[in-house]
Amino acid sequence: MYIDSLEIKYKVKLRHNSNYWDKVLVGIIYRMFIGGGLVLLAHRYEMVTTDFEKMVSSTIHLQRTHSIRALTHFRL
Alpha-carbon dihedral 48, 54, 57, 61, rounded to 10 degrees: -150
**What is residue 66's predicted lDDT score, i.e. its pLDDT?**
57
Q: Which residues of the chain have pLDDT under 50?
A: 1-2, 76
pTM of full prediction above 0.75: no
Q: Give the C-alpha separation, 28 to 25, whole Å.
A: 5
Return the pLDDT at 1: 46
| pLDDT the model gives residue 27 | 72
Question: What is the reported pLDDT for 26?
Answer: 73
Distances (CA, A) of 2 to 5, 9, 44: 5, 11, 62
CA distance 39 to 34: 9
